[in-house]
Amino acid sequence: MSRTAYVNGAYVPHRRAGVHIEDRGYQFADGVYEVWSVRHGALMDNEGHFRRLWHSLKELQIVAPMPEVSLAHILREIVRKNRVRNGLVYLQVTRGVAPRDHAFPADIAPALVITAKSMSTQKSEETAKKGVAVFSTPDERWARCDIKSVSLLPNILAKQVAKRQGGYEAWMVDAQGMVTEGSSSNAWIVTKDGVLATRSLADNILSGVTRGRVLALAAQRQLTVEERPFSIEEAQAAKEAFLTAATNFVMPIVRIDDVPVGEGMPGPLAEALRKDYLQSAVT
């Protein structure tokens, strides 16, 4: 079945979808994006993704393309048209099309693109049962990582560092030697004392929607949680480690820079939180 995309007010065949060469997202990375996971045909963590989308647009002073109720309808329609049972939806809003100039153009309409694709749940479950490896790399991103900008070059380079070494994800490390987050995920550990630790949003990391859900699930389990920095060395010595992201849910980490974490296999808390998440996040 051919895929369908939504581009600036029209549903078009995915293979023919395109944007103008003077779209500011293409020329300046002047835009934001969101990724929803789709499970059993339903969008996951819908409220959290919209909350973060509005924050990103506000911080970049980009006008919202339409009200939330209208956007939600298009998201569901894209899922339906592409017959996505399990997969993801990608939404991107740029400042729009205008002659190339660094300063914001006046009276410009934002550009909106939405796509969807199916993904195998079997592969994700098999990966989660084995756990994944991560590798550390310096964090070279800009200071406003709370904005989900389409400007992702440092993230891409970090992910490639991990991929070249056979890893699944990169953990970025700040100038103080502390883990900030993954190239496309949030980073977590379970300490020797059973404390769940993840970096605080006050440090200007991305407000992961899955991260927020997992914090709520941890509270339901009455776990002790510390939102604080931790080093690669502390993570390597932890009982467990895992990452969270919209398309990974809760993914156990079994090796960090080729050092086994815990028993070198997915830990029980990561597995339990993954199960909790998959049961709770469909909207």
Same domain as 265, residue 148: yes
Number of domains present in the structure of the chain: 2
- Domain of residue 81, CATH code: 3.30.470.10
pLDDT confidence tier of residue 2, bands split at 50, 70 and 90: confident
Question: Within this chain, do residues 172 and 255 fall inside the same structural domain, yes or no?
Answer: yes
Query: Residues with Cβ < 8 Å from 205, sequence gap 6 or more?
Result: 145, 146, 180, 181, 186, 199
Gyration radius (Cα) of the chain, Å: 19
Domain boundary among 89, 119, 149: 119
pLDDT at site 15: 95
Report pLDDT digits (tens) over 189-239. 999 999 999 999 999 999 999 999 999 999 999 999 999 999 999 999 999
Domain that holds residue 258: 124-280
- Give me the helix-helix angle, 46-59 and 68-81, nearest 10°: 120
List, in sequence order, every residue forming a beta bridge with 171; answer none if it has no partner. 136, 182
Interhelix angle for 209-220 vs 268-280, to 10°? 110
Buried b (16+ CB within 10 A) or exposed e, 110-147: bbbbbbbebeeeeebeeebeebbbbbbbebebeeebbb
Residue-wise pLDDT tens digits, 98-127: 999 999 998 899 999 999 999 999 999 999
* Known catalytic membership, residue 148: yes
Q: 3-state class of 89 per DSSP?
A: strand
Exactly one of 81, 129, 130, 148 is catalytic; which is it? 148
Do 137 and 270 sit in the same domain of this protein? yes
Q: Is the pLDDT of residue 1 over 90?
A: no
Query: Mapping DSSP to helix (H, G, I), strand (E, B) and coil, where does residue 199 land?
Result: coil
